[in-house]
Amino acid sequence: MATILVIGGNFAGLTSALEIKRRLHDDRHRVIVVSNRENFLFVPSLIWVPFREREIEDISLPLRPILESHGIEFVHATATKIDAVNNRVETTAGDFLYDYLVIATGPALDYSLPGLGPKTGYTQCVCTPNDALAIREHFDRLVENPGPVVIGAAPAAGCTGAAYEFLFNFEYNLRKRGVRDRVELTWITPEPFLGHFGIGGMAGATSLLRKFMDSLHIHYIENAELVEVTPNEIILADGRRLPFVFSMIMPPFLGQDVIRNSPGIGNAKGYVPVHDTYQHKTYSNIFAAGIAIDVPAPFVTPIAIGVPKTGFPADEAGKTVGENIAKLVNDKIDLKSRPFVKIPGLCVMDAGHKEVIIVSNHLMKPREFAAILPNPLYDEGKRLFEKYFLWKTKHGYSNLP
C-alpha cells in the first residue's frame, strides 16, 4: 500500500491531501500532512485584519479535525530536508518515508533589500498574521499623528494584487477616521503600467486604476525600482526619495528553507520545477503545487515582477496533483495536464468599500476571454467568497470549485 506525504497545509497542500484521499477509495493507503502551522489560514482576508474588520480566528480553521475526519494523518512539525533518492523527508518530529511526496510549502519572504521588512527594516508587510496585527498599532499611531505614507511592491514582489487591495482599504479607513486630508498617499510599483498584476495586464485595467487613483488623490509611480529603505525614506533607483511615516511594501517571495536545503529539489530561489502535471522534472514520484512551483514569467518587463500564485490557482493545482497521484497509485499513466498559465483567472479585488471582479479563461496571455468588472457601490463579493471557502474547507469538500 502507498504512503503519500504532503508538506504544507494551506490552499495547495490541504486540497491535494483531501483530493488524494477522496480519489483512492482504499483506507489502506496512508495520506500524511506535515505542516508547521496548526491552522488553515484564508490568506486573502489578511488585508482586513489591520483595520479590525477581521480577527485571525475569523479566517482560520484547525487542520487536525478537518484532516482526521477524512482519514488523513496530521503532524504538526517543520520539514527540514528532502532526500529524494531515499524517499525520505526529515522533520522536527522525526523522519518520514514516502512513496509519493507533495511539496506545498508556501512562500518565504525575501527581505534582502536594505531596510525592507518589519523585523530587519522599516517597512511593514501584510503577508502573515503577526505582521497584519502589528500594522494595527502603526495605523492607530498614524491616525493620531498623520504624515506621508508609501504603499507598494518591491521588484519581483510575490503578490502585487494584495498590495493594491491593502492600498485601497488603507485609503478608505483613513477617510473613515477623518484624517485622509492630512495624509499624502503614494503607490509605488515595479509594474510597467498599473494593473499588470504579474499576469501581463488585462484590457481596461490600466485606465480603470488610473482613474481610480486620481479620484482618490493617490500619487502613483510605475516602473518604480525600490533599492533601499531608511528609517523615513523610500529610495528608488532613479534617485527619488519618498518620505514616509508609515510604509507597507510587498516583498519578493522565495521557496521555503526545506526546498533550498535539499539539493536537486528546487532552483536557486527555492521553487520546484514541474511539468504541466505538477510532477517534478527529475523525480517522478514528487509533485508540487501552489507558491512552491517554479512558474517562469511569460513576459519581459524593465523591472522584475513576480507571477502571482494565489489561492484559486493553488487550489486548482492541488486538485490536479490529487487526481494524478491517485492515478499513479492505481497504476494508471494517463496523467492530467493542467498548465499553470492556462488555469482560469478568477479574482475579486477588494478596493475599500468597492470591488473589482476579474475573470479570464486563462491566467496568462494569450486569452480568448477576459473581463474586469468594477462594482463602485459595495464590496460583498470577496466577503461572500471567504465565507464559502471557509465552509468548504471546514467540511473537506475539496472537489467543489
pLDDT tops 80 at residue 377 = no
Residues listed for the chain:
401
253: confidence class by pLDDT, cuts 50, 70, 90: very high
- Supply 54's cell numbers: 477581521
For residue 179, give the C-alpha cell.
Answer: 484624517
Cell of 74: 496530521
What confidence tier does 401 reach under pLDDT thresholds 50, 70, 90? confident
Cα angle: 302, vertex 307, 309; to 5 degrees? 170
Does residue 135 have a pLDDT over 80?
yes
Which amino acid type is present at position 27? Answer: D
Please state the rounded mean pLDDT for residues 144-165: 97
In this model, does residue 82 exceed pLDDT 80? Answer: yes
Domains within the chain, CATH numbers bracketed: 3-108+254-340 (3.50.50.60)
pLDDT at 353: 87
Q: Is the pLDDT of residue 260 over 90?
A: yes
Strand partners for 164: none
Q: Is the pLDDT of residue 326 over 90?
A: yes
Exposure on the CB side of residue 46, measured as CA atoms within 13 A: 22
Share above pLDDT 90 across residues of the chain, in percent, rounded to a whole number: 90
pLDDT for position 355:
92
**7 has which bridge partners?**
34, 103
Residue-level pLDDT at 25 = 85
Query: CA 12 to CA 17: how far, in whole Å?
Result: 9
Q: Classify residue 1 as exposed, middle or buried by CB count within 10 Å of its CB (0-12, 13-18, 19+).
A: exposed
Task: Give whole-number Cα distances, 51 to 128, 212, 223, in Å.
Answer: 15, 21, 29
Cell of 136: 494595527
Are the CB atoms for 52 and 136 separated by under 8 Å?
Answer: yes
State yes or no: pLDDT of 310 exceeds 90: no
Asked if pLDDT for residue 4 goes beyond 80, the answer is: yes
Interatomic CA distance for residues 231 and 240, integer angstroms: 16
Q: For the segment 5-30, what is each residue's pLDDT rounded down to a tens digit?
A: 999 999 999 999 999 999 998 889 99
Alpha carbon of residue 277 to chain centroid? 21
Q: What angle do CA 50, 62, 320 make, to 5 degrees?
A: 95
Backbone region of residue 8 per phi and psi (left: phi > 0; alpha: psi in -120 to 50; beta: other values):
left
| Enclosing H/E stretch for 357 | strand 355-360
What is the C-alpha separation between 139 and 142, in angstroms, rounded?
5
Angle ∠(145,149,154) on CA atoms, nearest 5: 150
Which cell numbers hold the place of 39? 491552522
Backbone angles phi, psi at 281, to 5 degrees: -75, -15
Pure H helices in 177-284: 205-215, 257-260
- For residue 64, pLDDT over 90 is answered with yes
Q: Which residues are catalytic?
A: 159, 347
